[in-house]
Amino acid sequence: MTGKSGGVEDLCVAEYPGPLGIHDPAQITNNIESDLIGKIITGLTRGSGEMAAAGARRNPHDAVFAGTPEEVCRYFDQQEWSDGLPVVAPTVERIGQFLKFTDRAPDEAVAVLQSANLQATPWNIAVNAVMAGCRPEHMPLIIAAVEALGDERCSLNNIGSTSGIFPFVIINGPILDQLGIQSGAQLASRPPNPAIGRAIGLIVRNIAGFRPGSSYMGTFGYPLAFALAERAAESPWEPFHVEQGYDRNANTVTIGVTNNWGSSPAPYDRAGQSGAQIALEMLAKEITKKTRLYNFPGRGPNAEKVMVTLLLSPPVARSLAAAGYSKQDVKQHLYENTRMSLREFDWISRFTSISGIIARERIEEGVFPGEFAGGPDDQVRILSGPDILHIVVCGDPHRNRLMVMEGGHTQPTTKAIALPRNWERLLKE
């Protein structure tokens, strides 16, 4: 896939058999001699042009299949165009309904999506949105999400990691009420949110080119991308998109990624501590459970960008605000107080990172701060700064729950939703 995106249509690949990281030297030598060298020779001596001919360009407007709904689903599965669930057949008529909801020309370039480096256009965006079960009026939202996917800050080319990274969508603005997008209880599971999230997942598969098991290498995988909406009306703080520089009444979409969708603990007042104090302690402990912990303290140009999205239900947010905490105060508190012993941090870094580099070596590289040169029992801050934390208020307004989603390799990227000139009339129709 990388070769094709770089203009080499017929790049041959010789794949080492098995997981190299757990093979001993004798096994590695044997696999190279008995298997890998033969594959290299075959690749170097094979005739050129085989894959190029197979991948000849076809007109994206042409019909590719005709049959019953069941036959269409089966064919799309065979072509690896679907996520394994039934799809809505993307007929020309259905695509046309979606194209009414954008002022862009059908073949206009919206973004170029890595790693396949294919152009996303209103036409192929609509194809995937139809397949996902979206409605035509979701089209402006999904186009904005594709613009975010194509932004270099999103680093979409990095999500193929074996850790299993998957995208999610955060939606803000008046469009939530216009389209009935969910921001309350079970918001990721209630229509239309699942279809919107699924559309992004299909776009990542079919336009960005991330196919499970070949270029999308999550060890255990995750079934679907998901969509959330901020419950701004019940938040005591400015909405997420306002923090990103947008007007409160603007409609925006944010693309983030995460490799965990975990438990949602509930902070209760207990043992003389307020709900706000418990919430902050729980957030700090949840952050320390995340798998890329060894990259969190990294700073400077050589450090990997690691972002953390915190989902707070409205009661938790109000409890923190009532105790005098702004969003920035929460981030600063967690930066100062999310700590662990250097002994434990080094153990995690040595045994869970590919490089196995301990903290002192990262100090010498200029990536970790000097406090990591302390003794084994010294407590060290594991966040590089407060600004790697992003707070979104959403979920059940009657439950005190929180969730921490770690997003390695990338950072949340926000884009404005451009509504068509005749938006109000189209909605009424």
pLDDT band at 204 (very low <50, low <70, confident <90, very high): very high
Q: Are 126 and 90 in contact (CB under 8 A)?
A: yes
Q: What is the pLDDT of residue 352?
A: 67
Q: What is the pLDDT of residue 328?
A: 97
Q: Where are the domains of the chain?
A: 1-17+24-44, 69-338+382-428
pLDDT band at 295 (very low <50, low <70, confident <90, very high): confident
Greatest distance between any 2 Cα atoms in the chain:
75
pLDDT band at 364 (very low <50, low <70, confident <90, very high): confident
Q: What is the pLDDT of residue 269?
A: 66
Q: What residues have CB less than 8 Å from 77, skipping those under 6 apart?
A: 84
Provide the residue type at 97 as one letter. Answer: Q
Q: What is the 3-state secondary structure (H, E, C) of the chain?
A: CHHHHCCCCCCCCCCCCCCHHHCCHHHHHHHHHHHHHHHHHHHHHCCCCHHHHHCCCCCCCCCCCCCCHHHHHHHHHHCCCCCCCCCCCCCHHHHHHHHCCCCCCCCCCCEEECCCCEEECHHHHHHHHHHHCCCHHHHHHHHHHHHHHHCHHHCHHHCCCCCCCEEEEEEECCHHHHHCCCCCCCCCCCCCHHHHHHHHHHHHHHCCCCCECCCECCCCCCCCCEEEECCHHHCCCCCHHHHCCCCCCCCEEEEEEECCCCCCCCCCCECCECHHHHHHHHHHHHHHCCCCHHHCCCCCCCCCCEEEEEEECHHHHHHHHHCCCCHHHHHHHHHHHCEEEHHHHHHHHHHHCCCCCCHHHHHHCCCCCHHHHCCCCCEEECCCCHHHEEEEECCCCCCCCEEEEEEECCCCEEEECCCCCCHHHHHHC
Q: What are phi and psi of 171, to 5 degrees?
A: -115, 135
Q: What are phi and psi of 4, to 5 degrees?
A: -60, -40
Q: What is the pLDDT of residue 115?
A: 85
Please indicate whether residue 62 or residue 239 has the higher confidence score (pLDDT): 239
Burial class (CB in 10 A: 0-12, 13-18, 19+), 35: middle
Q: What distance in Å separates the CA atoms of residue 121 and residue 102, rounded to the nearest whole number?
A: 11
Provide the residue type at 31 as one letter. Answer: N
Q: Is the pLDDT of residue 271 over 70?
A: no
Q: What distance in Å separates the CA atoms of residue 308 and residue 367, rounded to the nearest whole number?
A: 19
Please indicate whether residue 242 or residue 349 has the higher confidence score (pLDDT): 242
Q: What is the pLDDT of residue 138?
A: 98
Q: What is the pLDDT of residue 180?
A: 96
Q: Are 307 and 407 in contact (CB under 8 A)?
A: yes
Q: What is the pLDDT of residue 354?
A: 59
Task: List, for residues 77-106, the tens digit of each pLDDT value.
Answer: 999 999 999 999 999 999 999 999 999 999
Q: Is the pLDDT of residue 51 over 60?
A: no
Nearest CA to 418 out of 148, 182, 19 is that of: 148
Q: What angle do CA 105, 203, 404 make, to 5 degrees?
A: 125
Task: List, for residues 2-41, the tens digit of each pLDDT value.
Answer: 677 677 777 888 989 988 878 999 999 999 999 999 999 9
Task: List, for residues 211-247, the tens digit of each pLDDT value.
Answer: 988 888 888 888 789 999 999 999 999 999 999 999 9
Nearest CA to 121 out of 152, 91, 99 is that of: 99
Q: Is the pLDDT of residue 207 over 70?
A: yes
Q: Is the peptide bond before 115 cis (omega within 30 degrees of 0)?
A: yes
Q: What distance in Å separates the CA atoms of residue 139 and residue 196, rounded to the nearest whole number?
A: 10
- 174-200 average pLDDT score: 96
Task: List, for residues 298-328, the tens digit of each pLDDT value.
Answer: 887 767 777 899 999 999 999 999 999 999 9
Q: What is the pLDDT of residue 54?
A: 47
Please indicate whether residue 114 or residue 305 has the higher confidence score (pLDDT): 114
Q: Is the pLDDT of residue 50 over 60?
A: no
CB atoms within 10 A of CB 48: 9
Q: Are 113 and 154 in contact (CB under 8 A)?
A: no
Percent above pLDDT 70 for the chain:
93
Q: What is the pLDDT of residue 178?
A: 95
Tokens 């912990």, residue located: 293
CB atoms within 10 A of CB 384: 21
Structure tokens at 401: 């729950």
